[in-house]
């Protein structure tokens, strides 16, 4: 029976230049990212070895690179790029969920944040 252990990175925060409005792409803003990495961690738990798990520092670095290296119009496109990049880089991950939040978005109203969530399963 496959295991569904989870490593989570919560609220990784970056300053970047994403948005559909030109001011957002010129002035930039804060973006928050959560990832849930589902994989079998039994060998890591038994051995207590970093070599047998997902190095979350390396995952964070990849997220930072994706968030800060290219402008996206849509946060869902950004979330998709993060999910695809992590699955490509870390073969032990079987399923990933990525949430990208834009705090205080440019809408006509009071909103704490807008969030897009994508989930991918290794096929």
Catalytic annotation on 102? yes
- Which is the catalytic residue, given 30, 51, 71, 102? 102
Rounded Cα distance, 100 and 83, in Å: 11
80 sits in the region (left: phi over 0; alpha: psi -120 to 50; else beta) called alpha
Rounded Cα distance, 99 and 14, in Å: 13
Burial (CB count within 10 angstroms: exposed 0-12, middle 13-18, buried 19+), residue 10: exposed
Which residues have a catalytic role annotated?
A: 102
């Amino acid at each position: 029976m496959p295991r569904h252990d989870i490593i989570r990175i919560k609220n990784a925060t970056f300053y970047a230049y994403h948005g559909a409005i030109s001011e957002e792409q010129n002035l930039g803003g804060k973006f928050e990212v959560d990832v849930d990495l589902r994989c079998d961690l039994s060998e890591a738990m038994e051995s207590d070895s970093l070599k047998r798990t997902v190095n979350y520092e390396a995952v964070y670095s990849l997220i930072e690179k994706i968030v800060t290296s290219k402008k996206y119009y849509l946060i869902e496109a950004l979330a998709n790029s993060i999910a695809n990049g992590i699955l490509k880089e870390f073969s032990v991950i079987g399923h990933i969920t990525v949430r990208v939040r834009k705090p205080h978005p440019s809408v006509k109203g009071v909103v704490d944040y807008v969030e897009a969530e994508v989930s991918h399963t290794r096929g």
